[in-house]
Amino acid sequence: MNTTRELRVRPSQEILGATRAWLEPVRNALGPHFVAAYLTGSVLTEGFETRKSRVNILVLSRELSADVLDRLARSIPASKKATVRIEPLFMTERNIEMSLDSFPIEWLEIQERHMLLEGDDLVGRLDVPRGALRLQCEHEIRGKHVRLRQAYLQHHNDPEVLREVLIEAASGFAALFRTLLRMREEPVPASAAHVVERTAEVFGLDPQGLLGPHLVRYAGGQPAAQIPGIYRTFLAQLDRLVFAIDQLRTA
């Protein structure tokens, strides 16, 4: 499944400077094994806040043997007190090729939202299998649905716990909803709220019900008494979505 990259926002000069400073000793440690490095994830979206989130960097190496790992471990700059906190992922090209059918959502997200820092843009040429995408998406949504239902059974009398579960769910479902839109060959909106609304429209769901976790996380201020109702409505929409995904067939 070939896709085009969707780089939405260029990071600030502060972030670019910090990531390149972090990368220099890492690249030197890899030496001839270094292939490429990319920024990925939320740092390339609007509203990214360095004090709240980490900057994801994907580093590709020709090999990651024990000796190479030891050199990397000694070279990675400490980031506990850094203003820009780096979250690196080290992979080989073979690692990626062998995991495309196991983690298709993650690789598609990286492919469509990445920025090449140095090297060859191998990520932009990935071919993510469409069938594996559907299976992982269904598996993860079903699993999250079950866990949300279990959490409600355990904490239905504690709105603040339910609020925290909804807040966590907001980010967890974002990539899955984007994946569903891609599978239906729908344009993926830039903002998370519009992604949720478009998903609801495409699958015949209630947009406000599906938006529940997003609104709790980003709008906030809902009285405690409203949280259980928001939670139940979201669960009901997930019930319908799971059924719709089960009917979705891909080539």
**26 found inside a domain:** yes
**Residue-number span of the structural domain to which 89 is assigned:** 13-103+110-125
**97 found inside a domain:** yes
What are the residue ranges of helices labelled H in the chain? 13-30, 66-75, 93-99, 104-112, 130-155, 159-183, 192-202, 207-210, 212-218, 227-246
Question: Within this chain, do residues 162 and 226 fall inside the same structural domain, yes or no?
Answer: yes
d(CA 176, CA 134): 10
- pLDDT at residue 250 above 70? no
Residue with tokens 């939405």: 8
| DSSP code for 103 | S
**3 found inside a domain:** no
pLDDT band at 113 (very low <50, low <70, confident <90, very high): confident
pLDDT at 249: 60
**7 found inside a domain:** no
The domain tally of the chain equals 2
Radius of gyration of the chain (CA): 20
d(CA 156, CA 167): 16
**76 found inside a domain:** yes
pLDDT single digits (tens) 71-95: 999 998 876 667 788 899 999 999 9
CATH assignment at residue 88: 3.30.460.10
Question: Within this chain, do residues 142 and 81 fall inside the same structural domain, yes or no?
Answer: no
Q: Which of 226, 205, 225 has its CA nearest to residue 215?
A: 226
Residue 87 dihedral angles phi and psi, to the nearest 5°: -120, 100
pLDDT at 59: 97
**53 found inside a domain:** yes
**6 found inside a domain:** no
Q: Which of 139, 149, 108 has its CA nearest to residue 232?
A: 149
Question: Within this chain, do residues 144 and 38 fall inside the same structural domain, yes or no?
Answer: no
CB 33 within 8 Å of CB 61:
yes
Question: Within this chain, do residues 120 and 146 fall inside the same structural domain, yes or no?
Answer: no
Question: Within this chain, do residues 239 and 160 fall inside the same structural domain, yes or no?
Answer: yes
Mean predicted confidence (pLDDT) in 158-170:
94
- pLDDT at residue 123 above 50? yes
Lowest mean pLDDT among 2-16, 95-109, 133-147, 161-175: 2-16
pTM beyond 0.85:
no
pLDDT band at 241 (very low <50, low <70, confident <90, very high): very high
pLDDT single digits (tens) 6-52: 446 788 888 899 999 999 999 999 999 999 999 998 888 776 777 76
CB 4 within 8 Å of CB 112:
yes
**177 found inside a domain:** yes
- pLDDT at residue 4 above 50? no
Q: What angle do CA 146, 246, 106 make, to 5 degrees?
A: 70
pLDDT band at 118 (very low <50, low <70, confident <90, very high): very high
Q: Which of 189, 23, 195 has its CA nearest to residue 115?
A: 23
Question: Within this chain, do residues 34 and 86 fall inside the same structural domain, yes or no?
Answer: yes
Q: Which of 160, 157, 155, 135 has its CA nearest to residue 249?
A: 135
Mean pLDDT taken over the chain: 88
